[in-house]
Every structure is written in C-alpha cells, then in structure tokens.
C-alpha cells in the first residue's frame, strides 16, 4: 500500500472510531467529501491528533483502548418492557475466575442482588490492546424496571482485592407524552411569535412576561390551544446587541430583560412609599422606547436595570433583613436551584466587575485567567466579598422564573389544550455562562452550522458550540437530562431546534468557512429515549424541528416515540414541485407556513426577501438571483392553485376569487385561504405566526447576516390591544377555526 493510501486508510479508521463522517450529502443530494484539513481540526478538537501517520496511529490506539478501559459502560439506556438488563463486563484475560456481585437499585429504592463468576458470562467480544487480551462477557440481570433512573453497582473480588464500578440505568417509556386533548383524531391550533416584538400599551419598548400573559388570554378567547414563543433563555445582559435567542449564554436560565418590572411586588411597595428618581426617569423614557421602530435593547435594559437595582435594595432591606414570607420564597428558590443559581450570580457579578474596569472584556475568555475557572480560589474569594452583587442577579433570575411560571399557570387556568410552546436551541455561545460552568462538556474549538443548501448557498455558521458526545455519556447524560427538565418545567410543549442534532451535528472548525465542516455523530438511540422519558415525566409534548437534510431513520424513530415533526407549506412539495394537498401532511406534526428563518407570507408574495438578499449581495451570482425570482413566480402560481379550493367570499376576495395582486383585500384573501388549507391538514398542531396574522413583510431573521440586517429586533405593526379590531386577523382566525372543525373540501 502506498504511503498516501495508507494515511487515508488510517484517517478513515480514526474518523469511524471517533464518529466523524468523512462524506455527506448536501442540500442538492450530491455527495461531498470533507477536506483533510477539516477532519484533522475536528479530530484534534476531540482529543485525537491527526496531522501525520504517526499521530493517526497513536490516536487510533488511544481511541481503541478507550472502548476497553471501562469495566462497565457509565450509562445504559433501555426500552420499557425489556426482558432483562444486559450487563456487559470488560476485563483482561486471566481474570475469568474473578467473583462478582451486583446490586441494582431502582429509583424507588427497591434493590436486587446477584452474583457469579466472570467465566460464566456469554462471550460477546474480545481484542488485543497494548499486548493484552481483553474480553467482554454478557450477563442477563432479571429485574422489573419501570421507566425512570436506576443504578447498578458491580463489585469484583479477586486475590483478596475488591473494586466497584457503577452504571446508570435509564429505562424509557414506549413513547413521549401526548396530552389527552390530542388523543384520537383531536387537533388544535395556536399562535407563535417573537415575545420581544410584541407591542402593547404597558411594556417598556419590548414584549415582556405580562405581554405573554395577555397574549395567552387573547389566544384562549379565540379558541387557540397553544401559544409559542422564541427561546427566552439567558443572553448577555451587559451586551444587549447579542440578541439572537438561538445563541444563548445559558439554556437553563431566563433572560431578565423579559421581566415586567412593574409587576415585581417591590415596585408597588416602593411606589406607595414615594417613587425614587429612577422610577421617574423610567416613566419619562418609556414612551420613547415604545415608539422606537426596532427593539432598542441597550436603552431598554439600561432603564430596566436601574429600576431593578432599586427594587433589589428595597427587597434586601425590607424583606431579606426582616425574614418575610417573600424572603422565604427567594431563599427556597435559591436552595432549589442550588449550584446553578449560585454560579449564575457569580458569573454576572464578575461580568459587571470586569466590564466596569474595561468595557472591551466582552466575556469570560478575556477575564484574568484565574477567573475563567469557577472552582478557583479567586472566584470563591470574589463571591465571598461581593454578596450583594451576587444576590442582585439571583433576585432578577428569581423574578423572571416567577413571572414565567405565572404565564404557564395562566395557560392552564385558561384551559389551553397544550399550553405554552417553548423552544430549545441546539447550542450555546462559547462566551456564555453554560460553557464557563462546565468547559469540558462543550467543544469550544468548533462552531455548529449547516452546509450550503438552496436557502443559504454559502452554508451557515451559527456561532454556538456543541456538547462533546463522549462527555455526555461519561456523565450518564446528566447535563442533557437537566437541560430538558429546565425547559419542560413550565411549557406544555417544547420544540427541539434542529432535532437531527440528536443523531449528528455539523461541526465547523473555528475560523473556517461553513463549507469546511463535517458531521459528528451522537448517541441517537439513547438521547431520543431520554427525551421521551422526560417528556412523559414533565407532561410536555415534544416537537422536533426536522427541516432540511434529515438522516435516514430519524423521522421514523420520532414517529415511533410520538415526537412530532415540523411541516412547512414552503417545503411540502411533491416530486413535480407542486405543493402538497392538505391530506398529505402527517398527523404527528406541527404544520405552519414558514419559520423565523424564512420569509413571511407577505414577504414571500412580494419577493421582499429576495430584494433584501440582492441588496446585501447574498446571491453568489446574478444568474442565481434571476433563477430564484423565476422559481418564486412559479411557486406563487402553484400555491394559488393549491389553496384555491379554500376561498370563500367572507375571506375578502372579490367574488371569492383568489388573485396574485397586492391589494390589502387580495392579500387577506390569500392569507385566509392558505391558513384554511393548513387547518384542514391532519396535523394535530397548526401554528399561525403573529407576523403572518399582522401581514408583516420583513423577515424576523436572515441567516448568514449579523449587523447587515436587523435580525431579532423587529416589532409587530399591530399592538396586542388592537388584534381584536384587525380585519385581517379576524378573517384568518375564522378560516383556521373552520378548517380545524371541518374535513377537507
């Protein structure tokens, strides 16, 4: 074998061992080969040097040895009704006569014991590792295990020595949670939107938790079954312009700028005692902030923070100092959240401290080195000497959870069929809280993204980092489980952004082009079963965002586990390019027109999204732009053809005829007919975006842009209080209600 061929073979072997794909199919179905440089960088980030044949050989030995290093795997995930627990024990040759005893402790505390000798096990595998022969033997442990989290401990005895090895046993239910309201042929619909973009007479320039409650009440009055929001996770309060909800600092905490500060109890207490100057200043600026054309995050947070600091001082002096019931509630929250909330306070207090010294220190990677490690003596000393700074941020987090929980309670009291529909991003910002808390869990040397496709011909780099697959397994999937619990705590349904990430994610070496990435595999079988278990325990329906290139078997596994998929009108086409008939949509799905990353209905119809792409020079060539405009014209005609059976005179079309024109009546008629088409599908969930309800033309987010486009800043043109009086809103909702209660025409 020639040197080049041998090196290529070694590279392929190492990639297979590490779970890195060396080829993939792009958005056009063409096979792409990953460049050597990208594979080398990704392998290096996984701890496997691969620059030279010598590196490859050493890394292959190391990767191979890892498989045989553990006596038992750290975690095992099993389906419900498994006949027995398969216990696989790995040991070096010569230890076959060792005696063992195991203890299986169920979650409810019940224990099962057993014993035997290693030589009695069923041989399942073996290998030579560094000159030593290793064997794996299987033992079947009979124990009735219900869905849940159990523990197995193996004790080995030989030559007077004893050692113990632990394994987490996770037993998953047959399928995820589906509420009673969606059993059988029952269906529902809901509205979705960007919370920050809500206009109201009471907010301070951006939507807040009180607006969300008002939206829930309004939606319930219309007969909706759910209200969906953008991710509301913690971003960067000291850097409000980093406002993408899909690049959070933490996926377990909430963003404090969604607080309605006037709804915090201390606000009323202070007002009754005489408002301080900060209150008057806020009152003077609120109207200006409401009238800003886009969400002015910097201005809004600077005003809210000053008021929140005043509220905290009052809380400290009149509640904490006097040990009131409200102080008890705060302390109980701190105990419940434990270490997560403690370091939340430390992280933000440190951020305040260092930014006050130097505003260019934008994140923990630029802090003085001792403070980059949360376990350092310096961090502990800082926490001890800045108790009020920590407590202020914990106070903000507590009030955010209180208001968020109140929104969930409101959805239950109004008997929404599903409740709040939350959203869980696929990754986190490398400079954020989650990575600072657990840097070994995340791969900071890569960024997540997607290869080129029709909608993003240059590919995408999302600026977020992924979990290390191996680190998740070593921790018994604990971080993943905690993440799901934090996000299912209030919601009745949860969207898993880029659900394909349960099986593989597209890693891009830091600083490389999105074209220079590769797919890295995750333990799909384990993760999807954990999702089902947490879904059932938290009574939270799960929707997997399965758009784009979906690996074989993912949708089938989702269907078996009753995890809903996503179906967009814009993507649902047959082999001829025609839009699918309503009855071709799957039942276990959430159907909608588009997403935040795609044009709104009116933007699609007018071609506004294409105009913006041309203005920003996002087409690779003038020819591509022309082809997309030609394709858009064809799509408009085909969509009119598909939704034509759903026209009615009451929907505003002259003589009940749908046209391609741009008048308000024609646009409303098309919108009503399209949503009537959506509502007629078998999909158990139909989502109507507030942007389409209100007739917005501008796109919420334009992938591939940052400063060039006002992503995540747009406000709705219709205020919450005016939704009931809006003719377009009324006609679309009437069409949806008709479609959900009737069969196809």
pLDDT for 384-430, tens place per residue? 999 999 999 999 999 999 999 999 999 999 999 999 999 999 999 99
Helix (H, G, I), strand (E, B) or coil at 634: helix
Q: What is the DSSP secondary structure assignment for residue 93, as one 8-state letter?
A: T
Structural domains in the chain, sorted by start: 3-68 (no CATH), 81-172 (2.60.40), 242-402 (no CATH)
2: confidence class by pLDDT, cuts 50, 70, 90: low
Angle, helices 53-69 vs 3-18, to 10°: value is 30
User: Is pLDDT of 377 > 60?
Assistant: yes
User: Is pLDDT of 298 > 70?
Assistant: yes
Alpha-carbon distances of 647 from 52, 427, 636, rounded to whole Å: 66, 42, 16
Q: What is the largest CA-CA distance in the chain?
A: 93
Q: 712, 234, 703, 256: which is closest to 435 by C-alpha?
A: 234
CA distance 317 to 315: 6
CA distance 710 to 358: 27
Alpha-carbon distances of 128 from 53, 56, 97, 203, 617, rounded to whole Å: 21, 18, 20, 67, 57
pTM value is 0.95
User: Is pLDDT of 204 > 80?
Assistant: yes
650: confidence class by pLDDT, cuts 50, 70, 90: very low
pLDDT in tens, 337-349: 999 999 999 999 9
- Which positions ≥6 away from 85 have C-beta within 8 Å? 76, 78, 104, 140, 141, 142, 143, 145, 152, 169
Q: What does the pLDDT read at residue 656?
A: 46
Query: What share of the chain in percent tops pLDDT 70?
Result: 97
User: Is pLDDT of 654 > 60?
Assistant: no
User: Is pLDDT of 570 > 80?
Assistant: yes
Q: What does the pLDDT read at residue 316?
A: 98
Q: Which residue's structure tokens are 């690996």?
A: 551
What mean pLDDT, rounded, does the chain reach? 95
Beta-strand runs (E) in 386-470: 419-424, 446-450, 460-461
317: confidence class by pLDDT, cuts 50, 70, 90: very high
648: confidence class by pLDDT, cuts 50, 70, 90: low
Q: 326, 345, 277: which is closest to 306 by C-alpha?
A: 277
Q: Tell how far CA 705 is from the center of its chain.
A: 20
Q: What does the pLDDT read at residue 333?
A: 98
Q: What does the pLDDT read at residue 660?
A: 62
- Looking at residues 292-299, what average pLDDT do you find? 96
- Looking at residues 4-13, what average pLDDT do you find? 91
Under 8 Å between Cβ of 465 and 444: yes
Helix (H, G, I), strand (E, B) or coil at 272: helix
Q: What does the pLDDT read at residue 81?
A: 87
Both tokens of 203, joined, read 């907010």
Q: What does the pLDDT read at residue 704?
A: 81
Q: What does the pLDDT read at residue 278?
A: 82
Under 8 Å between Cβ of 517 and 508: yes
For the chain, the first-to-last Cα distance in angstroms comes to 66
Both tokens of 619, joined, read 């087409």
Identify which has the larger pLDDT, 549 or 473: 473
pLDDT in tens, 445-466: 999 999 987 767 778 899 999 9
705: confidence class by pLDDT, cuts 50, 70, 90: confident
Q: What does the pLDDT read at residue 673?
A: 97
Identify which has the larger pLDDT, 209 or 743: 209
pLDDT in tens, 618-640: 888 899 899 999 999 999 999 99
Q: What does the pLDDT read at residue 159?
A: 79
The strand pairing partners of 378, in sequence order, are none
Cα–Cα–Cα angle for 716, 722, 664, rounded to 5 degrees: 70
């Amino acid at each position: 074998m020639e040197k080049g061929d041998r090196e290529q073979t070694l590279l392929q072997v190492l990639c297979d061992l590490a779970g890195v794909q060396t080829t993939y199919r792009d958005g056009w179905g063409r096979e792409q080969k990953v460049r050597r440089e990208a594979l080398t960088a990704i392998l290096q980030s996984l701890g496997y040097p691969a620059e030279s044949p010598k590196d490859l050989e050493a890394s292959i030995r190391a990767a191979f040895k890892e498989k045989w290093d553990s006596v038992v795997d750290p975690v095992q995930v099993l389906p419900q009704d498994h006949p027995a627990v398969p216990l696989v024990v790995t040991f070096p040759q010569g230890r076959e006569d060792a005696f063992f005893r195991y203890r299986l402790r169920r979650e409810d505390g019940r224990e099962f014991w057993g014993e035997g000798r290693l030589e009695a096990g069923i041989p399942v595998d073996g290998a030579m590792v560094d000159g030593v022969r290793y064997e794996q033997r299987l033992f079947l442990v009979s124990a009735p295990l219900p869905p849940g989290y159990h523990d197995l401990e193996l004790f080995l005895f030989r030559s007077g020595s004893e050692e113990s090895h632990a394994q987490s046993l996770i037993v998953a239910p047959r399928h995820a949670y589906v509420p009673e309201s969606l059993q059988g042929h029952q269906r529902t619909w809901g509205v979705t939107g960007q919370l920050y973009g809500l206009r109201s007479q009471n907010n301070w320039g951006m939507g807040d938790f009180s607006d969300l409650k008002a939206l829930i009440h309004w939606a319930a009055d219309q007969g909706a079954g759910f209200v969906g929001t953008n991710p509301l996770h913690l971003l960067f309060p000291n850097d409000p312009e980093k406002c993408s909800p899909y690049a959070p600092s933490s996926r377990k905490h909430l963003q404090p700028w969604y607080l309605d500060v006037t709804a915090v109890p201390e606000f009323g207490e202070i007002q009754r005692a005489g408002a301080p100057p900060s209150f008057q200043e806020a009152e003077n600026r609120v109207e200006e902030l409401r009238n800003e054309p886009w969400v002015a995050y910097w201005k809004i947070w600077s005003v809210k923070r000053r008021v929140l600091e005043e509220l905290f001082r009052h809380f400290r002096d009149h509640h904490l100092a006097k040990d009131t019931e409200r102080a008890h509630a705060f302390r109980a929250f701190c105990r419940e959240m434990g270490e997560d909330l403690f370091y939340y306070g430390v992280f933000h207090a440190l951020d305040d401290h260092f930014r006050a010294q130097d505003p260019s220190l934008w994140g923990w990677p630029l802090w003085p080195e001792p403070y980059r490690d949360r376990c350092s003596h310096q961090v502990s000393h800082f926490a001890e000497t800045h108790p009020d700074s920590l407590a202020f941020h914990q106070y903000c987090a507590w009030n955010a959870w209180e208001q968020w929980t109140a929104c969930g309670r409101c959805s239950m009291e109004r008997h929404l069929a599903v409740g709040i529909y939350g959203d869980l991003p696929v990754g986190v910002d490398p400079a954020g809280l989650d990575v600072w808390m657990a840097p070994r869990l995340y791969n900071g040397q890569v960024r997540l993204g997607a290869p080129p496709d029709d909608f993003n011909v240059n590919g995408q780099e999302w600026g977020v980092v992924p979990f290390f697959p191996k680190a998740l397994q070593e921790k018994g999937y604990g971080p993943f489980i905690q993440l799901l619990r934090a996000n299912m705590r209030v919601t009745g349904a949860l969207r898993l952004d880029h659900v394909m990430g349960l099986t593989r994610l597209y890693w891009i070496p830091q600083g490389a082009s999105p074209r220079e990435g590769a797919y890295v595999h995750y333990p799909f079988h384990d993760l999807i079963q954990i999702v089902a278990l947490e879904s059932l325990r938290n009574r939270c329906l799960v929707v997997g965002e399965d758009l784009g290139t979906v690996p074989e078997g993912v949708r089938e596994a989702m269907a078996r586990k009753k995890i809903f998929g996503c179906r967009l009108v814009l993507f649902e086409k047959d082999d001829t390019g025609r839009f699918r008939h309503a009855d071709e949509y799957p039942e276990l799905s959430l159907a909608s027109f588009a997403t935040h990353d795609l044009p709104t209905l009116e933007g699609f119809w007018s071609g506004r999204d294409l105009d913006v792409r041309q203005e920003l020079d996002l087409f690779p060539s003038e020819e591509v732009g022309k082809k997309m405009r030609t394709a858009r014209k064809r799509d408009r005609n085909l969509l009119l053809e598909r939704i034509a059976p759903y026209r009615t005179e009451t929907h505003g079309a002259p003589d009940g005829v749908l046209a391609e024109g741009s008048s308000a009546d024609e646009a409303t008629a098309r919108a009503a007919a399209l949503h009537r088409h959506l509502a007629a599908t078998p999909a158990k969930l139909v989502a109507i975006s507030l942007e389409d309800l209100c007739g917005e033309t501008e796109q919420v987010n334009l992938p591939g842009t940052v400063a060039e486009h006002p992503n995540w800043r747009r406000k709705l043109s219709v205020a919450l209080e005016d939704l009931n009086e809006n003719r377009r809103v009324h006609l679309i909702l009437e069409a949806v209600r008709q479609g959900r209660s009737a069969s196809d025409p």
